[in-house]
Structure 1
Amino acid sequence: MEYLPKGCLREYLQKNQERLDHKRLLLYAWQICKGMEYLGSQRYVHRDLASRNILVENETHVKIGDFGLAKLLPQDKEYYVVREPGQSPVFWYAPESLSDNVFSRESDVWSFGVVLYELFTYSNRSQSPSEEFLRMMGRDKPMPIICHLLELLKNDRRLPAPPGCPAEVHSLMLSCWAFSQSKRPKFSELGPKLEALRDSRSKVRG
Structure 2
Amino acid sequence: MTIRKGKAAGLSPSELRRQSIERRRIRLLYSLGDLQLALSACEFLYECDPEERYSRADLRRFRCFETTLITAYARPFSQSDGGFPPLTLKMAGAKLSEQERALHQRLVRMRNKIVAHSDRELMRMTTKTIKIPHDENDEDGKGFVLIHSVFDEGITLLGDLLIDANELLRKLYFAIYKTLSDEAQKEPGSFDMRLDYILHPST
TM-score by length of 1: 0.34
Structure with the greater alpha carbon radius of gyration: 2
TM-score by length of 2: 0.34
